[in-house]
Amino acid sequence: MKNRILMFVLGFLLCGVTAFAQVSTKATVNGLVVDDQGTALPGVTVVLTNMEQGAKRTVVTDANGKFRAPFLPLGTYTVEASLAGFGTYSAKDLKLGLGDIVNYKITMKPEKLSESIVVTAEKPLIETQKVDVTASIGDDYIENLPVQGRDFKDFVLLTPGVSEAAGSRVTGMGTRGIMNNLQIDGAGYNSTFFGEQRGSTRIPFTFSQETIKEFNVVSNGYSAKYGNASGLIINAVTKSGSNEYHGSAHWFRQTDSMMNANAPSEYDPLPLSMRKNDFTKDQFGFTVSGPIIKDKLFFFVAYDAQRRDSTFTWKFRERSGYDAFAAAFPDIIAANEGPAPETEDNDVYFMKLDWQINENNRLSLRVNRQEFTAENGTNSHNYVTDGITSNGVEEDFSTSVVLELTSILSDTMFNEARVQWSQEHRPRYANTTDMMEVNIGSYDALFGQNNFLPNWLNETLNEFQDDFTWMINDTHTLRAGVRYAQYDYDDMFFRYGGGSMRFYGGYNDFLAWMDDDPSNDPGRYDMKYTQSFSPINGVVKYSADEADAYIQDSWQFNAKTLVEYGIRYSSQSFDDMINPNPELATLGLEELPDENNIAPRLGITYDVTGEGTDLIRLGAGLFYNRTPSLLAANAILTNGVNVIRNEFRPGDPLFPTDLTDRISPSELDPQNPYPPDVFVFSPDWQNPYTFKTSLSYEKALDDVWKVAVDLKYTRGYHFERKLDTNLGIKDADGDGVQDVDDYGRPLWDSRHRPNTNFRKIMTFMSDGSSKASSITFRVNKKFANRWSMFASYTLSSSFDVDTNERSVSSSGSGYPTNPANLMDDWGRSDYFNKSQFKFSWTVLLWYDIRFSGYHRFYSGRPYTVTSGYDDNGDGFYNDYAVIDGVLGSRNTYRQPNFNQTDIRLSRRFNFMRHHSIELIFEMFNVFDSSNDYTTMTNYRYDADHLGVLDRASLTPRQYQLGIKYRF
C-alpha cells in the first residue's frame, strides 16, 4: 500500500496541484459565432460575465468560428461578442446550472446594418454535448416543492426509476442503497463505514436546504470520472455570496393537531386510538451572504435547526401466553409498554468563502458542521412491539472542510483541485444496562439492553483529488485525474456484550424458563442465550485507503456525433487486518485489498437533425463499489480473540437462570473454551461491480416541451452476502450422502461442526448477483406561461439472490436458505417496483400565489413467507414456508401499491426595497392514502393472519405552516 500512496503523491506533485474532482461542479459553454449569412467568424472576442459576482471569462473564436468556455461557476451570465466591422452582440440572463454543457450560437450583423444586438439568452432544452442522462433539480424546485423534513436529498425520489431502499436510502436499477455516491461541491459526502451518507440516514438533514443551490442525479452516467458507485451519482453544489448583500430567515411548524390519525389496519396490536402520536416540530434558521471585496471575495453563512418533541406508544403483541406473562411480570410491562418521549434535535452550521483571485484562478472554502441528538431514537416505528428499555439515545456530530482551486492554465488547459478533511462521531447509548436483551417469539416482545448498544464510531477522512482538462483541438478534449483518500476508524461495537436471550417458542417458553419448569430440558432448542466477551471491550482502531485514476477522451467525431470513451482504475485496501487468532490463520484474512478494479466506459450522443432537437444517447460501462468498512470491522472484532461470541443452550451449566444472570468472563474455563462464532472474509473476496448499458432518445417538441424514452439494463456481480462455512451435514444412515427432506432440500447439522474450534464461521462472500431492466417515458415542460411540469413512467424488472445492504447479522438476514446452492434464492429483488409514476408541477396562480407539488405511485414490492423454523438444520430461521403441501420460494407475494400526493401553496409579499415575506402552506399525503403493508409473513406465528395488512403508513395526511423572510 505504501508504494501505491507514493505513486499517487508523485502524481500530485507532477500535476502541481493537490486535489481532484470526481464530479465537476461547474458549467461549460460551447459556442459558434456566424454572420447573418451563416458564415463562421474567426477572431471574435466573446466575454461571459457572471452577473452575481462580476467574474469574467474572455475567449476568442478559432478559424471555424467556435469558442469554448469550460469551468464556469454556476450562475446567471451576460454574453458579449465583438469584432471590427460588426455590431456588438449582447445577451443577458444565460442561466448555467450544475454540469451544464450548453451549445450557444451567436449571429452578428455588419456594423452598418446594426449598431448592436441585445437579446435574452436561452439555454437549449437538449444538451447535445452531454452523454449522461441526468435529472437536474434547480433552485426553483428546491425553493418551491413541498418537502417534509427540509432535506434536499428527498428530491432524489423525483428521479425516474428511483425508490426508497432500507434505512431511508434510495435505490435504482437493481442496485443496493449503499451503492450510491453523494457529492457536495465535488467532494464525497459519504460514510464509508456504513455505506451511506455522512451523518447517517436517521438525521433530518445534514446540510441546510437553504444552502443548496442546485443538484442533479446521474442515473445513466458513463464518464470515467464517476467512481465508487454503481448506483446513483448525486451531485450537489452549495450557494455562494454575490456583489449584493442578501439574507433570509425561515420557520416551519408542525404539530399533532395538523396530522390525521392513521387509518385502521386489518390487524394491529395497537388500538386505533393509540396510533396518533403527540408531537411538535419546529424547523428554523437563517442565511446571510454578500461581498467582502466587490468582484473579488464573497461569503455565505447559514444556520438551520430542528426541534422535535413527541411521544410514541409501544405495545407487545398479544399472542398466546401474553396475559399470563403480563400478570406475572407487571414491572416489565410498566417499563416497556405505553407512551415514551422522543426527541430529534438537529443543528447545522455552514460557512463558505469564494475568492476570485484573478480571471484565471478561483479559490473556495466550505465548512459544514452538524450536531444531532435523538432520545429514544434507536428503534424504528415499524415494530411497535419493541419495548422502551430496548431503545436508546442516538447522537451524531460531523464536520467537513473542503478547499477547491479552479485554474485556467492556458486557453486550452484547465485544472480543478480539491482537498477535504472530515470527521464524524456517532455515539449511541442504551436505555438500560440492568438486564439482558429478551426477544420473545417473532419479535412479539423485545426488551432489556439492546444487543448492539452502547457503541460508537469515529470516522476521519483526508482526501486529495485533482482533475485536469486539455482541449487538444476542435475534436478532442482529454480529461485525466487521480485521487487518494485515507480513512481512520475508531470503532466500539461490543455486540451481545450485555447478553441476549431468544425464545422462539413465545411467551410460554419465557414463562417456563422463569419458573424453571422441568420440561425446559437440554433437548429444547427453541431458545438460546448469546453473549460476547472481549479483553479490549469491543474497541478497535484501523485504517483504510482508496486510490483512483482515470483518463478519458471526448471526441467530436463529426458535427452530429460525440464519442466519449475512457477507463477508470480503483483500489481499496484495509490496514491492520492482521488476525491475532492462530486458529483462523488459514481461514481468515491477513489483509483485505482489492486492487484489480479496471472499469472501461463508453458514451455516444447522436444529434439526429443537427439542430439539437432530436438526440440519441448510448452508453455502456463497468462501475465498481467500495466495500463498507463495517464488514471489515466485524472481521477484526468478532474473530474469537478480540470479541468472543458464544451461544448457550438449556442444560448448559452456564445457561442463565434470570434476566440479570449474565455470564462473567471468569466463569469461562480457558482449558475447555466454548467454540466462538467468528466473521471472516472469503479468500476470493472481490468488491462488487455492475455492468450498465442504456439507450435514450430525447426530442424537443418546441422551445418549452421535451419528451424522452430511456431503455436500461444492468447486471451486478460480486454482491455481498454471508455463508456459514462450518456446517456439518446430516447423514442419518452414515452412508456419507447428505440427507434431504421431502421437498429436496439438503439437511444440515449445525450442532456438530467440521472445525470444532469454532461454531459459526460467518464468511463474507462476494458471489451475489443481480439483473435489472427498465423502460422509462419522460415528459418535461420548462417554466413558461406561468407553469412547468415533469412526469415519468417506469416499467421495470429486477432480480437478485439477496438484497441485504451490508448485513453483519449472525441471524438469518443475508444468509442463503440453501447453503449448497445460492441460486435457490434467485427471485425478485426486495426493492422491485414493477411500475412507477411520478408527476411534479409548479403553477403561478392569480395574485401571485404559487401552487406546486408532486405525486408518487409505486406498485407493491414483493415479500417472502418463511416457515418460522430451522427446517434444514443450518441454524438460521429463514427457510421458505410449505403451504398446502407446496414449498414456497423467495419474493413470490406482493405488498399493496403505494400512492402519495404532496402540495404546497405560497405567496410572497414584497415591502420596502428588496424585502419580502413569504407565507407557506404544505400538505403531505393529501388524499390520506393508508399505504398499508404486511409484516405477517412468518407462517409459524402468522398462519391465521398471513398477509393481513397490519401496518399503515407513518405519513397520514398532515400539513405544516411556514414563513420566510428575505432581503
pLDDT, position 20? 33
Please check the confidence at residue 553 and state whether its pLDDT lies above 90.
yes
328 or 669: which leads in pLDDT: 328
Q: What is the mean pLDDT of residues 421-430?
A: 97
Which of the four pLDDT bands, split at 50, 70 and 90, describes residue 132?
Answer: confident
pLDDT for 515: 80
Q: Label residue 524 by pLDDT band (50, 70, 90).
A: low
What's the CA gap between 353 and 367, in Å, rounded?
9
- Cα separation, 926 vs 148, in Å, equals 13
Give the per-residue pLDDT at 14: 39
DSSP H stretches of helix in 361-439: none
pLDDT tens per residue, range 618-653: 999 999 999 998 888 888 888 888 898 888 888 888
Could you count the other beta carbons within 10 Å of the beta carbon of residue 724?
Answer: 21
More confident site: 116 or 630: 630
Task: State residue 809's pLDDT score.
Answer: 74
More confident call, 959 vs 118? 959
DSSP code per residue over 656-679: -SSTT-PPPGGGS-TTSPPPPBEE
What's the whole-number mean pLDDT along residues 715-729?
A: 93
According to the CATH classification, is domain 133-238 in 2.170.130.10? yes
Partner residues linked to 678 by β-bridges:
761
Whole-number pLDDT of residue 601: 97
Task: Please give the share of the chain, as a percent, with pLDDT higher than 70.
Answer: 91
Average pLDDT score over residue span 437-445: 90
CA distance 665 to 643: 12
pLDDT of residue 8: 42
- Identity at 298, one-letter amino acid code: F
pLDDT at 584: 67
What pLDDT does residue 521 have? 53
Domain ranges across the chain: 26-97+99-120, 133-238, 246-966
Please say whether the beta carbons of 955 and 925 come within 8 A. yes
Res 546: pLDDT? 93
Residue (of 191, 583, 547) closest to 397 by Cα position:
191
Give the strand pairing for 133-137 and 116-120. Answer: unpaired
Cα separation of 172 and 157, whole Å? 10
For residue 518, pLDDT over 60 is answered with no
Grid cell 403441501 in the structure block, residue: 885
Give the pLDDT of residue 525. 53
What does residue 4 show for φ and ψ, rounded to 5 degrees? -70, -40
- Residue range 274-301: mean pLDDT, rounded: 90
Which band of pLDDT confidence, cut at 50, 70 and 90, is reported for residue 607? very high
Instruction: Give the contacts of 912 (CB within 8 A, at least 6 positions apart).
Output: none
- Which pLDDT band, with edges at 50, 70 and 90, does 175 fall under? confident
pLDDT tier, 17 (very low <50, low <70, confident <90, very high otherwise): very low
Q: What is the pLDDT of residue 176?
A: 84
Q: How confident is the model at residue 114 (pLDDT cuts 50, 70, 90)?
A: low
Q: What pLDDT digit, counting tens, does each position of 94-111 carry?
A: 999 888 889 899 999 887
State the pLDDT at residue 578.
53
Which of 464-473, 563-572, 729-738, 804-813 bottoms out in mean pLDDT, i.e. has the lowest? Answer: 804-813
Q: How confident is the model at residue 6 (pLDDT cuts 50, 70, 90)?
A: very low
The 3-class secondary structure across 838-907, one letter per residue, is EEEEEEECHHHEEEEEEEEEECCCEECCECCCCCCCCCCCCCECEECCEECCCCCEECCCEEEEEEEEEE
Strands 190-191 and 133-137: unpaired
Residues 948, 933: contact at Cβ < 8 Å?
Answer: no
**HEC string of 752-783?**
CCCCCCCCCEEEEEEEEEEEEEEEEEEEEEEE
Top-confidence residue, 392 or 809: 392
Please provide the size of the chain in residues. Answer: 967
Taking 80 as the threshold, does the pLDDT of residue 3 lie above it? no
CB 77 within 8 A of CB 97: no
Alpha-carbon distances of 890 from 307, 715, 871, 937, rounded to whole Å? 42, 19, 15, 12
Q: What is the mean pLDDT of the chain?
A: 88
Architecture of the domain defined by 246-966: Beta Barrel (2.40)
The pLDDT of residue 177:
82
**pLDDT reported for residue 586:** 57
- The Cα–Cα gap between 635 and 496 comes to 16
**Could you give the CA distance from residue 543 to residue 455 in angstroms, rounded to a whole number?**
19
pLDDT tens track for 920-953: 999 999 999 888 888 889 998 888 889 888 877 7
Rg of the chain (C-alpha set): 30
Is the pLDDT confidence value at 437 over 50? Answer: yes
The predicted structure's pLDDT at residue 268 = 60
> From its phi and psi, is residue 906 left (phi > 0), alpha (psi between -120 and 50) or beta?
beta
pLDDT band at 155 (very low <50, low <70, confident <90, very high): confident
Please, which residues bridge with residue 547 across strands? Answer: 484, 571
Q: What pLDDT digit, counting tens, does each position of 328-365 carry?
A: 999 999 999 999 999 999 999 999 999 999 989 999 99
Region 956-964: what's the mean pLDDT?
93
User: Peptide bond preceding 124: is omega within 30 degrees of 0, i.e. cis?
Assistant: no
Residue 427 has a pLDDT of: 97
Q: How far apart are CA 657 and CA 451, in angstroms?
A: 18
Q: pLDDT value at position 167?
A: 62
Give every strand in the sheet of 56-60, ordered side by side.
56-60, 45-50, 75-82, 88-96, 116-120
Q: Which residue has the higher pLDDT, 965 or 317?
A: 965
CB-count burial class (<10 Å; 0-12, 13-18, 19+) for 562? buried
What fold does the segment set 26-97+99-120 form as a domain? Immunoglobulin-like (2.60.40)
User: What is the CB-side half-sphere exposure of residue 58 using CA atoms within 13 A?
Assistant: 7
- For residues 838 and 734, give the distance between their C-alpha atoms in angstroms, rounded to a whole number: 60
Contact between 812 and 878 under an 8 Å Cβ cutoff? The reply is yes
